[in-house]
Structure 1
Amino acid sequence: MHKLLGIVILLLVVNCKSTENKAKMVKEDVILIGKGDLYGSGSEGIEQQNLVITSESEWKELLTKIDSVNKVSDSFSETQIDFSKYGIIAVFDAVKNSGGHSLSLVFQETKDKFLVEVLRKSPDGIATSVMTQPYYIVKIPIQNVPVVFK
């Protein structure tokens, strides 16, 4: 599967006549699939991590984990992804001992990388006493530059 992705990326690079003609990704190109909290107290088995998902099998594996305690993916805007055109960026924070935590992402594209800045927010004041794990999942057009998390 990685060879196929490499071939697709190579074809995209070869077909580009100039990086000057390359359209920059705009905010509208990033499509929110889902954000919020997992409430399984960590029993989903998802560690704090930043993922770039490029295949159907990786995506299905993640959906299975996400839905192992609660059907979280039922609230997603979509779960059927065309991986020949799109990739998934999924960010999971650590399991927290209270509610009120959240994630947001900021995207910036340069000529040599696609930068994803992960912003974490903690609750102000008193928060609910429930274990949560914030997540943020988006769909982006396939990149021909590396995705770098900040």
Structure 2
Amino acid sequence: MKNLIYLVLSLFVLTACSNDDNDVIANDVQFTTVGKNTLHGGENIPQSNFVFNNETDWNNFLIQVNAINDVSGTFNETEIDFTAFTVIAVVDEVKTSGSQISIINVMENTNNIQIAKELTIYSTTVISQPFHIIKIPKTNKPIIFN
């Protein structure tokens, strides 16, 4: 009888500790800033989150951000190896005050990549449309923006 109790308890512990497919293990993803600045609002880029996996889409985006000024000239790089990297851009809405948007964290879990961002508003009266562009190691996982 005592052995039966140990057997039942052992089965209970083993099934309670089994690895469930819904378990999520999150890891920080190292990222590199490609560019971080503000647009002037006349570039006609809507508030949006962009994921670039190819050179054509990236180059079209660069044409848009350069519509008024040479904004990409301030980027750390514009030539991206899309076989090795995915580029992520966060563009906020046009504001009537100075502002800055920052990607503060990139986390990878079993099912996706999560991007955490933060907006800072300054007490200046200037039209601004902040953006932050980063690159991460190439991924095919869905990217979720928080």
TM-score by length of 2: 0.77
The within-5 A match list for 1:59-138 is 59-99=58-98, 101-105=99-103, 106-123=105-122, 127-138=123-134
Alignment partners' CA distance in 1, 2:126 and 2:118: 21
The CA RMSD measured in Å over matched residues stands at 1.5
Give the aligned partner of residue 31 of structure 2: 30
Give the aligned partner of residue 56 of structure 1: 55
1:119, distance to aligned residue in structure 2 (A): 1.3
Tell me, yes or no, if the aligned pair for 2:97 and 2:121 is still in contact at 8 Å.
no
Q: Secondary structure at the match of 1:94?
A: coil
Superposed CA offset, 1:63-86 (max 9, x none): 001011111111101000011111
- Show structure 1 runs of 4+ deviating over 6 A: none
Greater shift in the superposed pair: 105-114 or 43-52: 105-114
TM-score by length of 1: 0.75
Percent identity of equivalent pairs: 35
1:35, distance to aligned residue in structure 2 (A): 0.7
| 25 and 84 in structure 1: CA distance in 2 versus 1, 3 angstrom threshold | farther
| Structure whose residues are more often strand by fraction | 2
Long gaps (5+) in structure 2: 1-25
Computing the radius of gyration from Cα coordinates, the structure with the larger value is 2
Alignment partners' CA distance in 1, 2:52 and 2:142: 13
